[in-house]
């Protein structure tokens, strides 16, 4: 299928996709702060530069976009009709990198939580996604 947008317009649109301070990430940060959790952002010394880092709890959170990180079973994880080979290669690289970063963090003694973009749509779903972190926080003195 042919892309209905010019290459220049597509390039401009893709350049607007952010990796930090996305709407889903901001929602997670607001909810974490609201329930009394304090965190650091994008710690470069940790594998994958996690979106939120809770040093005292030895826990990190990645806020993944459903499209970019291929959320299983999510309608947003569709593959574009044009340049499918390019996109499939990109998605495989993203998934491999995610798995490797998670392994490295676990080896370093960190608990890893992944919150998907679609889980940030409602407060109820977001609280459910943050539950493992809240349990860890309550267990710590």
Q: What is the pLDDT of residues 81-128, one digit of tens each?
A: 888 899 899 999 999 999 999 999 999 999 999 999 999 999 999 999
Beta bridge partners of 63: 115
Per-residue confidence band for 80, with pLDDT thresholds at 50, 70 and 90: confident
Pairing of strands 59-64, 40-41: unpaired
Per-residue confidence band for 3, with pLDDT thresholds at 50, 70 and 90: low
Query: Helix, strand, coil proportions of the chain in percent (round to 5)?
Result: 50, 10, 35
The answer to whether the predicted template modeling score (pTM) of the entire model surpasses 0.75 is yes
Which helix H or strand E contains 126, and what residues bound it? helix 123-139
Question: Which structural domains are found in the chain, ordered by start?
Answer: 19-139 (3.40.960.10)
Looking at residue 5, its pLDDT comes to: 75
Q: Where does 1-117 show beta strands of DSSP type E? A: 40-41, 52-54, 59-64, 111-116
Looking at residue 121, its pLDDT comes to: 93
- Side-by-side strand order, sheet with 111-116: 40-41, 52-54, 59-64, 111-116
Q: What is the pLDDT of residues 54-73, one digit of tens each?
A: 999 999 999 999 998 999 99
């Amino acid at each position: 299928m042919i892309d209905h947008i010019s290459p220049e317009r597509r390039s401009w649109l893709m350049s607007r996709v952010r990796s930090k301070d996305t709407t889903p990430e901001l929602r997670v940060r607001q909810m974490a702060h609201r329930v009394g959790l304090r965190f650091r952002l994008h710690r470069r010394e940790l594998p994958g530069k996690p979106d939120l880092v809770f040093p005292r709890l030895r826990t990190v959170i990645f806020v993944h976009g459903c499209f970019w990180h291929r959320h299983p079973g999510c309608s947003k994880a569709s593959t574009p009709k044009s340049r499918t080979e390019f996109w499939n290669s990109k998605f495989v690289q993203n998934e491999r990198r995610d798995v490797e970063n998670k392994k490295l963090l676990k080896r370093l003694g960190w608990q890893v939580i992944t919150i998907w973009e679609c889980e940030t749509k409602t407060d109820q779903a977001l609280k459910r996604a943050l539950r493992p972190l809240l349990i860890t926080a309550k267990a710590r003195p």
